[in-house]
Structure 1
Amino acid sequence: MALNGSQSDVKGSLNGNLDLYHTWFGPSPPRPPLKNYLLLTILTCFCPAYPINILALVFAVMSKNSYEQEDYEGSRRLGKVALYVSIASIIIGIIIITIFFTVHFTTKAI
């Protein structure tokens, strides 16, 4: 006896495998937006506080990698650290530039 219609109500993927996650749990929840501040940390690399700039860049890349591995809480935490280190780098860079110009223009040539 033949059944009318398809043999299974479950849709398969293109290669014939079943997508069991979507079948059992439904569609996956939307991903939260990525905030790793990578552009800001790249721009802070032009400040003269080099070890701190590199540290901010490392945290931003780690945040991006955590996001790609679907560790959203870790990505958010590392993104905040990258933001704070970038702001510290900018402040330290401004202080270094101010000290340099103060020393350069206030000394007398002998």
Structure 2
Amino acid sequence: MSNLLFSTDHEWVKVEGNVAYIGITDYAQKQLGEIVYVELPEVDDAFEKGDSFGVIESVKAASDAYIPVTGKIVEINEELVDSPQLVNEDAFGNWIVKVEMSDLSELEELMNSQQYEAYCEE
């Protein structure tokens, strides 16, 4: 978890060059409960930081997923279409989308793992 960055909307970001893997945090999946559906964007869709890029539905609620960086979707995690519960089983091991980032400076606005833990305790 130490190599991840976090948004205030409970998304995590793993950076490899100018590509970001994005998923929801363990805290978020616990709040949602049993996840039954993940709505994914299309490859090549472009999003501005803060845009909703999909919906995560659980037996309790539906929640938008917000993109923490501006960029273009280069890959979606197809496994989640048939097995959305994978997010519950391992939130940090199951990314939702891969994004080619257009502004790497936006990463500076995200939290590290210690800052995120403190944020969740507030």
Give the TM-score category using the shorter length.
under 0.3
Larger Rg: 1
Q: TM-score, normalised by structure 1?
A: 0.25
Whose RCO is larger (CA < 8 A, sep 6+)? 2
Structure with greater strand share of residues: 2
Higher helix proportion:
1
